[in-house]
Structure 1
Amino acid sequence: MPIRHILLAIAVAVVWGLSFIAIRWGVDEVAPLLLTALRYVFAALPAVFLVKRPAVPLRLLVGYGLAIGVGQFGLLFIAVKLGMPAGLGSLVIQLQVFFTIFLAFVFFGERPGWAQLVGAGVALAGIGVIALDRLEGAALLPLLMTIAAAVCWGLGNTAGKKAGRVDMLGLVVWSALVPPIPLLLASLLLDGPGAIPLALEHISWRGIGAIAFMSYVATLFGFGAWAWLLSRYPASQVTPFALFVPVAGIASGALLLGEAITLPEIIGSALVFAGLLINVFGPRLSKRAAA
């Protein structure tokens, strides 16, 4: 992978780490499903009138939109609203790395190496430590929802890879038309019809800025660039760059939100991060040792 593509992957990861702060600020003012719908309304409009629809089957376009927009972010926004810290959430959702590698094996025959398997085991052990700690504090549901969001992210990555070498910005923009309707319907059912006018009446400039950042920077730039990279390189080569997401997420959560984590969460986070490092650097170390 050329250095410019490596830097692009790192830039996307940093943007996504910072987006967890935007999520926290957003759900403080707007119901989570409504917030997710607004994210995709503004990601699609007016861009859909400026970007040509990609040459992909409709089912793939809809599948990508449902997996990323409804599944990943609908679940993640609810998890943050229910108490998942922004920094910790940015780490746990990186299980998508391993879900993506597994799905790439199932659908594309990309066989994971020893580093991916060992790294997955170490990371899952870390999630287990966090889960036990959260179970004692009755905060297991946000953790489970974040893990489910990671599964949906893996499904979305798989759909993006299946699309092949098409206009990935077009894929992101046109798939952004999919999530708003189911999300708005779900918000009406769960939050009531008064949620929309209440949010629009009381939203602050910080909330507006959070939606703008999530729509244009995290979604259009972030997912457009990420899907573009996945269309050109193996999933096992691209997705590990997501390990930079929790670095930015935890650092910004501590600096901007004053978040602190418990000792078991620190231990579990270290194991997850170690698993990601094994996944990234294990093959390179093996090649050097063999040489």
Structure 2
Amino acid sequence: MRPSHIALAFLVAIIWGVNFVSIKLALTGFPPILLTALRFALAALPALFIARPAGIGWKQLATVSTFLFTGHYVFLFMGIDQGMAPGLASIVLQCQAFMTMLIAAGMLGERPRPQQLLGAGVAGVGLLVTATTVGLDVTWIGFGLTLLAAASWAMGNVLMRQLPPSPTLPLMVWLSVVPPLPVFTLSLLFEGPERVAAALTGVTWTAGLALLYIVVLSTLVGFGIWGMLLREYKASLVAPFSLLVPVTGTVAAHFAFGETFGPMRLTGMALLFAGIVITILPWRKVRPAVA
């Protein structure tokens, strides 16, 4: 990769890691379901100027977006709102990597390689170890909602693989067109018109700027750069940079909120991270030299 593109890949990892801090700050002014609706309403605005990707119908957009965007972010935002630590969320959410593998095995008949099964096993042990620390500074409901976010993201990954090849940024923009109205309706039903109105009329600088960070930097800039890199290089070369996201996420949460990790949680997070590394990174078979 060219040095400038390596720098851009690192930049995206930093943007997406700091995004977990931004979510926590945005939730100080917006309830989680409303925040999801606003995020995608703003992210969908470029659809006024960008054509819908060719060969992708509304039914396909709605199906993929329901899992990749709606379920993913409603559960994630609710999880952090209900007591999931942002730094820990950045690690646990990456369970989507081996969840995607398991769902693809069931839906697409793809047989996992031994390396992937090993990675899933290590990550599963890490998840169990991490779960033993729930109840100290992290709630069970927040932890569970974050796992549901990872599962929804994984299902969205599998469904998106069935779409025709499309440029990443236009696809992300048009997938963002789907959630705003139904999610805003859910917000009115579950969070109440009074709470929604109070949030919309009393926006603070902190929550407003955090929302703009989530929309502009994390969604449009982040996915725009990521899509460009995937068009320039093989996915196996680009994807490993995503492993930096939980690293930057935990560091950002530590500096922003003083989030700390005890020995047991650090062990669980390290096992989770190791399992994801084993699952994602390409491992070449060592062939014996031919005399």
Q: TM-score if structure 2 supplies the norm length?
A: 0.87
Please list every run of 5 or more consecutive structure 1 residues that lacks an aligned counterpart in the other structure: none
Residue 167 of structure 1 and its aligned partner are, at CA, apart by 2.7
Per the alignment, residue 19 of structure 2 pairs with 19
Q: Is the 8 A contact 1:29 1:203 kept in 2?
A: yes
Distance 1:34 1:147, change over 3 A: same
Per the alignment, residue 175 of structure 2 pairs with 175
Q: Is the 8 A contact 2:133 2:264 kept in 1?
A: yes
Deviations 1:130-180 (A, max 9, x none): 212215778211111111101111122223322232132221111111111
- CA–CA distance in structure 2, aligned partners of residues 52 and 61 of structure 1: 14
- The yes-or-no answer on 1:35 pairing with 2:44 is no
Q: Is the 8 A contact 1:32 1:74 kept in 2?
A: yes
Per the alignment, residue 51 of structure 1 pairs with 50
Per the alignment, residue 273 of structure 1 pairs with 273
* Residue type of the alignment partner of 1:220: L
Q: Is the 8 A contact 1:100 1:239 kept in 2?
A: no
Distance 1:198 1:2, change over 3 A: same
Residue 250 of structure 1 and its aligned partner are, at CA, apart by 0.1
Distance 1:240 1:180, change over 3 A: same
Q: Is the 8 A contact 1:126 1:268 kept in 2?
A: yes
Distance 1:228 1:195, change over 3 A: farther
Q: Normalized per residue, which structure has more helix?
A: 1
- CA–CA distance in structure 2, aligned partners of residues 248 and 77 of structure 1: 19
Which range moves more in the overlay, 188-197 or 234-243?
Answer: 234-243
- CA–CA distance in structure 2, aligned partners of residues 155 and 5 of structure 1: 29
Per the alignment, residue 166 of structure 1 pairs with 166
Please list every run of 5 or more consecutive structure 2 residues that lacks an aligned counterpart in the other structure: none
Identical aligned residues as a percent: 37
Per the alignment, residue 127 of structure 2 pairs with 127
Per the alignment, residue 189 of structure 1 pairs with 189
Q: Give the number of aligned pairs.
A: 288
Per the alignment, residue 78 of structure 1 pairs with 78
Per the alignment, residue 254 of structure 2 pairs with 254
Give the SS at the match of 1:177: coil
Q: Is the 8 A contact 2:236 2:281 kept in 1?
A: no
Q: Is the 8 A contact 1:101 1:235 kept in 2?
A: no
- CA–CA distance in structure 2, aligned partners of residues 107 and 2 of structure 1: 37
Q: Is the 8 A contact 1:61 1:175 kept in 2?
A: yes
Which range moves more in the overlay, 175-184 or 217-226?
Answer: 217-226
- CA–CA distance in structure 2, aligned partners of residues 25 and 192 of structure 1: 21
Q: TM-score if structure 1 supplies the norm length?
A: 0.87
* Residue type of the alignment partner of 1:61: L
Q: Is the 8 A contact 1:100 1:235 kept in 2?
A: no
* Residue type of the alignment partner of 2:94: Q
Distance 1:209 1:183, change over 3 A: same
